[in-house]
Structure 1
């Protein structure tokens, strides 16, 4: 896709063209462009949010997952717990447990017992 094609796609998406938005999300996901996905997710696009969570988890981006989790996104919280558990990140699990996340508390207990 050329720069002018991308600009035209972004303009169409900005004007509310649903298919252009979907195409932009797909392109951003393929290119690993968290910025575009974040912008669309912050505008309330659930497909962009789902793609952002998936990509952030694949890239091991705790910060992005934390940001979404702290905004109340349960899927992001689950992915954050999974990633923190894989990395042995007790501080992150403790932070989530302190916020009342039962799954994080369970994972923390498992990692610290024994």
Structure 2
């Protein structure tokens, strides 16, 4: 799918935000879909931080695809188990022992197991 014109996309995002703020649930769904299409992590983050679980899920998926450890860490540290799982997976793929150690030190047993496997090799 071709990327929409940036000016048009921003205008559409603004219109959808306005509709969503007025309580239109369809606009929220459209806003999430467009943000995903555009790869707009800041819009997804705004919606996720406002408590939208679909936006949170999409943000996690996009952050994992982009290799954004910082975003996954933020969500994981906020208690999101899916983000923690994705963070562990990404840190393992990148051989990021420091991140796995940090997670293990905070009691994440999966991170501790992955760390053990990576350091045993």
Query: TM tier, shorter chain?
Result: over 0.9
> CA-atom RMSD, angstroms?
1.1
Within 2, Cα distance between the matches of 1:5 and 1:70? 32
| Aligned with residue 8 of structure 1, among 15, 24, 27 | 15
Identify which range, 6-15 or 97-106, moves more after superposition.
Answer: 6-15
Q: Flag structure 1 segments of 5+ consecutive residues without an equivalent.
A: none
| Aligned with residue 62 of structure 2, among 45, 52, 55 | 55
Q: What is the deviation of 1:14?
A: 1.4
1:21-65: per-residue Cα shift (whole Å, max 9, x none)?
Answer: 000001001110000000000000000000000000000000000
Q: 4+ residue runs of structure 1 moved beyond 3 angstroms?
A: 3-6
* TM-score, normalised with respect to structure 2: 0.90
The answer on whether the counterparts of 2:69 and 2:90 sit within 8 Å (CA) in structure 1 is yes
Q: Flag structure 2 segments of 5+ consecutive residues without an equivalent.
A: none
| Aligned with residue 76 of structure 1, among 83, 100, 111 | 83
Structure 1 equivalent of residue 38 of structure 2: 31
